[in-house]
Amino acid sequence: MGRVDPVVSDDRPVTDPARKADELCALLASYLEPEQVEFVHRAYRFGAEAHRDQRRLSGEPYITHPLAVAKILAEMRMDHQSVTAAILHDVIEDTPTAKEQVAREFGEEVAELVDGVSKLTQIDFKSKAEAQAENFRKMVLAMSKDIRVILIKLADRLHNMRTIWVMAPPKRRRIARETLEIYAPIAQRLGINTMRVELEDLGFAALYPMRYRVLKEKLRRQRGARGETLEQVRKMVEARMAEANLNGIVIGREKHLWSIYQKMRTKNQDFQDIFDVYGLRVIVDSVDACYRVLGLLHGLYKPKPGRIKDYIAIPKANGYQSLHTSLIGPRRIRIEAQVRTHEMDKMADSGIAAHWMYKENEQVSSTAQARAREWIKGLMEMQRSTVNPLEFIESVKVDLQPDEVYVFTPKGDIMKLPRGATVIDFAYAVHSDVGDACIAAMVDHRLTPLRTALNNGQTVEVITAPGARPNPAWLDFVVTARARAAIRQSLKRLKGEAAVSLGRRLLEQSLSALGRSLDTLPEDQLQAVLGSLSLPSLEALLEEIGLGQRMPWLVAQRLTGVSQELDTAHPARHGQRLVIRGTEGAVVTFARCCHPIPGDPIVGFASAGRGVVVHHRDCANVREYRNHPDKWIDVQWETQVRGEFPVVLAVDVVNRRGVLAELAATISDTESNIESVTLDEKEGMITTIRFTISVHDRVHLARVMRRLRVLSSVIRITRRRA
């Protein structure tokens, strides 16, 4: 083909693919070598042939979409391989073309990019949400190898949003919501502000069309008077900068509609109450000039306290740098002002794309690359520790929230965390081992609860202890995806270890009833049973037994080849009793219906996924298990049980002032903790108060009940269970 002629013929329809391809190549010729432009045009011919019989919902030839995606990347001055992959990004997914064929024609690198963007179409998913989550996971894996995958995907999504109106309303809303929740925040995280703003406004228009139109009209009406005021301010700033010999550009800017709408929602304000719709952007030559301009602005107009932010000294997670201030302008109009250098402005608009757009400024591009790779590294850690794809994508959505707080380590290092992050989030941001071993924390040298939300400028010191374990309750208040994934992974690992230990005890007791033990079983016999059960190891078998997914006596019979009739009179007796120590962890749970405590007669039941559930023998729910004797497990308390166990007491009292405080003080004196209290009106002056308290055993409970019974206000006290 040779060098592409940048002159495009005008006698072809504007939707003609060949014309669009020539326009694309003319754009590429402005910054790429001729052989690279020819490489892209060859990809167009290949893609046009592959999509020959396909059309979009609009009726256009399908190839017009990949060409439009490629043009978006060309406008970002991306390399020829990215643009080629954009043209071919649907050939693997939507045509019979194989990845290997793309690799033969255009190289392995282009083929990997195309494959990274392609959806998983060969797998049947249970729901659209699961398909979306799994495809996103696949894309993250591809991103970890080549960051250009996400840039192609963002360009693809941008063109789809530009042409979304041909779709049915339900699909339109689904895609718009996905764009606002995932793709626009990703563009923001990568610092590609121009693309992020367009994605947000297009998503807003598609998801809430009426709200979009109303807000757009209100903004149009307001533009006149406030626009004039902004122009006055802009000229005043320009004049003052000239007096101070400061070279720069002063630009008036307008908040985009989605940003205004979000502010109205989060602050519960009407449109007329939003005063920072308009703002100024001042672009200067140096960092020193940025701070001088900030002082000049504050000399001209009064700044609003608490609204000055220095993102130059402490850049945002996506590398964004700028000085922000909020000014009270003429007619008391609030004006948001941003001050930055030319390099910072390029970075703010292009983000990671600056690596390809502005190669002459290696500092800008390498900073963007480093921050993007750090973020992707965090995504990969989440991906490895999260089995469920839906859980993974929800974690990513949380991680993409842009608001941040900056806190200090005891050594003075700055750490960035999302708004609302707690001490536990901080601990896991330092290291997962620090988070797992965290038992307390000092915030600004004061002991602070672990659920405390952190604020800007605080110094946080984590206190750890050897052998400490993460608490499942932490999942209720942590906000970072990294902390949530690490806690779940640790709990899963601990549960797995506890399940293996319990499974070994259960299997040993069943083998003991048959006169055998694990140590005496022939290795070939054990391996044969593991093979027949499709399990990789003895630990996997023990874990399934401990989690209640396999019955220990049935496994024991398979391992020994000995069959034994079930004792229906005493169905749980298949060997020695399982001794409950109270330290088994999550694989032994105590039923909430009857709250068994040490000293109570108990019986255990194998429950899939939960391990052994222990009930009081007189619990009403035990009747449900009468017809399932194979799930009974004979259990007994160890002589010295450690831990505290909840129990419910119903106390009938005379309803008078101070009675609840008297009861609570008495319970506290017996070294018992009150977990919850509920009150029921009954017979006028008589009230029933239900306490859930923690006790060590039946002896401790008896002591509590005796102390309560002697109180003059107490009429009757009973222990409640189902």
Banded model confidence at residue 288, pLDDT cuts 50, 70, 90: very high
| pLDDT tens-place string over residues 619-668 | 888 777 666 666 777 788 888 887 888 999 999 998 888 888 899 999 98
CATH code of domain 405-479: 3.10.20.30
Instruction: Please determine, for residue 116, whether its predicted confidence score (pLDDT) is greater than 90.
Output: no
Q: What is the mean pLDDT of residues 419-437?
A: 89
Banded model confidence at residue 7, pLDDT cuts 50, 70, 90: very low
Instruction: Please determine, for residue 594, whether its predicted confidence score (pLDDT) is greater than 50.
Output: yes
User: DSSP readout, 296-333?
Assistant: HHHHHSEEPTT--EETTTS--TT----EEEEEE-GGG-
Contact 607, 613 (CB under 8 A): yes
Instruction: Please determine, for residue 93, whether its predicted confidence score (pLDDT) is greater than 90.
Output: no
Which stretch of 83-97, 98-112, 217-231 has the lowest confidence by average pLDDT? 217-231
SS (H, E, C) 569-614: CCCCCCCCCEEECCCCHHHEEECCCCCCCCCCCEEEEEECCCEEEE
How far is the CA of 356 from the CAs of 75, 189, 359, 365, in angstroms? 11, 17, 6, 8
- Tell me which range, 234-238, 264-268, 638-642, is most confidently predicted by mean pLDDT: 234-238
Q: Return the amino acid letter for 532.
A: S
Token pair, residue 81, equals 């391989």
Instruction: Please determine, for residue 139, whether its predicted confidence score (pLDDT) is greater than 50.
Output: yes
Coil/strand/helix, residue 283: strand
Which stretch of 17-21, 183-187, 325-329, 401-405 has the lowest confidence by average pLDDT? 401-405
How much is the pLDDT for 512?
75
User: Which residue intervals of 183-253 are DSSP H helices?
Assistant: 184-189, 193-207, 209-243
Banded model confidence at residue 6, pLDDT cuts 50, 70, 90: very low
Contact 115, 92 (CB under 8 A): yes
Token pair, residue 719, equals 């222990």
Q: Cβ–Cβ contacts within 10 Å for residue 165, how many?
A: 14
> CA angle, corner 211, sides to 130 and 207, nearest 5?
15
Cβ-based neighbours of 578, under 8 Å, separated by 6 or more: 505, 506, 509, 604, 612, 633, 634, 635, 636
The number of CA neighbours under 13 Å toward the Cβ of 578 is: 33
| pLDDT tens-place string over residues 681-696 | 666 688 889 999 999 9
Domain spanning 211-358: CATH superfamily = Beta Polymerase, domain 2 (3.30.460.10)
Banded model confidence at residue 566, pLDDT cuts 50, 70, 90: very low
User: Which residue intervals of 409-551 are DSSP H helices?
Assistant: 423-430, 432-436, 481-513, 523-532, 538-546
Banded model confidence at residue 128, pLDDT cuts 50, 70, 90: low
The number of CA neighbours under 13 Å toward the Cβ of 288 is: 3
How much is the pLDDT for 67?
94
- Tell me which range, 185-189, 566-570, 585-589, is most confidently predicted by mean pLDDT: 185-189
Distance CA 182, CA 525 (A): 52
Which stretch of 45-59, 242-256, 464-478, 629-643 has the lowest confidence by average pLDDT? 629-643
How much is the pLDDT for 26?
92
Which DSSP state fits 47? H
Instruction: Please determine, for residue 232, whether its predicted confidence score (pLDDT) is greater than 80.
Output: yes
How much is the pLDDT for 127?
57
Element housing 401 (H / E): none
How much is the pLDDT for 573?
45
* Sign of the alpha-carbon dihedral angle for 266, 132, 170, 161: positive
Token pair, residue 335, equals 């004006």
Domain ranges of the chain: 17-209, 211-358, 405-479, 488-637, 645-720
Percent of the chain at pLDDT exceeding 70: 80
Strands 278-284, 334-341: pairing kind:
parallel
Say which residue, 256 or 549, is predicted with more confidence: 256
- Tell me which range, 361-375, 434-448, 536-550, is most confidently predicted by mean pLDDT: 434-448
Instruction: Please determine, for residue 402, whether its predicted confidence score (pLDDT) is greater than 60.
Output: no
How much is the pLDDT for 224?
65
Domain spanning 645-720: CATH superfamily = ACT domain (3.30.70.260)
How much is the pLDDT for 8?
39
Distance CA 558, CA 568 (A): 20
Token pair, residue 243, equals 């007096």
Which stretch of 275-279, 378-382, 457-461 has the lowest confidence by average pLDDT? 378-382
Instruction: Please determine, for residue 11, whether its predicted confidence score (pLDDT) is greater than 60.
Output: no
Banded model confidence at residue 506, pLDDT cuts 50, 70, 90: confident
As its CATH architecture, domain 17-209 has Orthogonal Bundle (1.10)
Instruction: Please determine, for residue 597, whether its predicted confidence score (pLDDT) is greater than 70.
Output: yes
Distance CA 550, CA 720 (A): 33
Instruction: Please determine, for residue 121, whether its predicted confidence score (pLDDT) is greater than 60.
Output: no
> Which is nearest to 42 in space by CA: 5, 75, 87?
87
> CA angle, corner 97, sides to 94 and 101, nearest 5?
145
Coil/strand/helix, residue 416: strand
Element housing 390 (H / E): helix 389-399
Which DSSP state fits 267? T
Instruction: Please determine, for residue 403, whether its predicted confidence score (pLDDT) is greater than 70.
Output: no
Q: What is the mean pLDDT of residues 245-262?
A: 87
Q: What is the mean pLDDT of residues 263-281?
A: 75
| β-sheet bridge partners, residue 604 | 614, 633
Give one word for 268, left, alpha or beta, with left for phi > 0 and alpha for psi -120 to 50: left
How much is the pLDDT for 722?
57
Distance CA 440, CA 131 (A): 40
Which stretch of 24-33, 360-369, 424-433 has the lowest confidence by average pLDDT? 360-369
| pLDDT tens-place string over residues 334-385 | 888 999 998 888 877 776 666 555 544 445 445 656 666 666 666 666 666 6
Mean of the per-residue pLDDT values for the chain?
A: 81
Q: What is the mean pLDDT of residues 254-265?
A: 84
Strands 645-654, 460-464: pairing kind:
unpaired
How much is the pLDDT for 529?
80
- Tell me which range, 129-138, 204-213, 484-493, 568-577, is most confidently predicted by mean pLDDT: 204-213
Q: Return the amino acid letter for 512.
A: S
Count of residues in the chain: 722
Distance CA 563, CA 432 (A): 47
Token pair, residue 592, equals 């909430």
Q: Return the amino acid letter for 120.
A: L
Q: Return the amino acid letter for 417.
A: L
| pLDDT tens-place string over residues 158-172 | 999 999 998 999 999
Catalytic sites, residue numbers = 93-94
